[in-house]
Amino acid sequence: MINNLSAIIYMDGNGLYVWVCLLVLILILGINIYLPSRRLKKIYKENKTNGL
Amino acid sequence: MSRIWNFIKSWTVEMGSPPLFFQWSSKALPWLAIISIIVFSIGMVWGIFYSPTDYKQGDVYRIIYIHVPSAILGQSILMFMAICGFITVVWRVKISGMLIKSAASIGASFTLIALITGSIWGKPTWGTWWVWDARLTSTLILFFIYTAIIGLHSSLDDKTKADRAISILSLVGIAIIPIIKKSVDWWYTLHQPSTFTLSSAPSMAPDMYQPLLVCVLGFYLIFAFLLTMNLRAEIVFREKNKTWVSKQYLNRQKNDK
């Protein structure tokens, strides 16, 4: 187990690699959540504009 | 036993209907989101903060908790798409075509995560970001298969034809899976042997292995959540002119505002 905050961030010089990976994961998952929501919103807006 | 089988059969048939799936998923989606976030977070926190440091690789090995589940998902999603492809080709179930289309972008995303994180892991351990190694190259081909499926579907206006085309491509593309799996055995590679095998006990310590299993489960749940979201958007897009969509989704949205 990693004990203190600086050790968690630094990880013996490997922290950057680990945190960048986590960032990439969160970013790509975030895009995957955002895109279908945007698509649904767009359909709803189109529907509203067409007055259906 | 027959009652359970009948229940599974009727549930599967019901889920094959877009209106019923949409109705069911409206209730299931928030729960799926909560459960997947909890399991995913437990796995990540356990793996990154509480698992012991590797004696050889140090802390950089913690990338395993992102890289391995992503790689497993990248391959599993194509297998799932091939099964849906088979159903589309043989029984022409409409929702299975939508499932392939919805899963393709998620599969591409997980494969991309596996490629990027693997590359980042490669730098401190192998001394290079990329080598044209059998495992890496076959995973890159898997990513290209996903992009081909996405591209093919969006290039065809007739969605029924597009569904059939990507079904066939998924069925053909699945040939890459055994190549990826066996690449570390068939060729001399820099990549380490598979972390998960069905035939032998894990070579890792249980302290490292257990959080990895939780991460894999969390990633599968995240996939189920993302797939449900994508499928709902696909259903509304394709059936937007149908009465049930106006009643169940579009009018409800208006009432909410």
Enter the ipTM. Answer: 0.90
> DSSP characters for A4-44?
SHHHHHHGGGTHHHHHHHHHHHHHHHHHHHHHHHHHHHHHH
| Element containing residue B214 per DSSP (H, E) | helix B206-238
> DSSP characters for B46-110?
IIIIISPPBTTTBGGGGGHHHHHHHHHHHHHHHHHHHHHHHHHHHH--HHHHHHHHHHHHHHHHH
Half-sphere exposure of A12 (CA within 13 A, CB side): 13
Question: Is A9 a member of any domain?
Answer: no
- A16: burial class by Cβ within 10 Å (0-12, 13-18, 19+)? middle
Residue of B nearest to A10 (CA): B59
B240 vs A contacts (CB less than 8 Å)? 43, 46-47
pLDDT for residue B4 is more than 90: no
Question: Is A35 a member of any domain?
Answer: yes
Q: Chains A and B: how many Cβ contacts under 8 Å?
A: 94
d(CA B66, CA A18): 9
B59-86 pLDDT per residue, tens? 899 999 999 999 999 999 999 999 999 9
**Number of domains composing chain A:** 1
B124 vs A contacts (CB less than 8 Å)? 14, 17
- Look at residue B205 in the predicted model and tell me its pLDDT: 86
The residue segments making up the domain with residue A50 are 24-52
Domain ranges within chain B, ordered by starting residue: 35-194+213-239
B214-233 core/surface letters (b: 16 or more CB in 10 A; e: else) = bbbbbbbbbbbbbbbbbbbb
A11 vs B contacts (CB less than 8 Å)? 58-60, 62
Question: Is A28 a member of any domain?
Answer: yes
Question: Is A14 a member of any domain?
Answer: no
* Residue B228 near residue B221, CB atoms below 8 Å: no
B193-238 pLDDT per residue, tens? 776 666 677 778 888 999 999 999 999 999 999 999 999 999 999 9
d(CA B37, CA B255): 29
Q: How far apart are the first and last CA of chain A?
A: 58
B19-74 pLDDT per residue, tens? 889 888 999 999 999 999 999 999 999 999 999 988 888 889 999 999 999 999 99
Residue of B nearest to A16 (CA): B60
The Cα-based distances of B88 to A4, B78, B83, B160, B164 in angstroms read 54, 15, 9, 10, 7
Q: What letter represents residue B248's amino acid?
A: Q
Contact state of A17 with B105 under an 8 Å Cβ cutoff: no
| Residues near B110 by beta carbon (within 8 Å), at least 6 away in sequence | B70, B71, B73, B74, B77, B219, B223
Question: Is A40 a member of any domain?
Answer: yes
d(CA B242, CA B61): 51
Question: Is A47 a member of any domain?
Answer: yes
Helix (H, G, I), strand (E, B) or coil at A51: coil
The band of B251, judged by pLDDT with boundaries at 50, 70 and 90, is low
d(CA B74, CA B152): 19
Say what percent of chain A tops pLDDT 90: 50
A37 vs B contacts (CB less than 8 Å)? 229, 233
Q: How far apart are the first and last CA of chain B?
A: 47
Residue pointed to by tokens 């593309």 = B173
Contact state of B226 with A33 under an 8 Å Cβ cutoff: yes
Question: Is A16 a member of any domain?
Answer: no
Question: Is A29 a member of any domain?
Answer: yes
Residue of B nearest to A43 (CA): B237
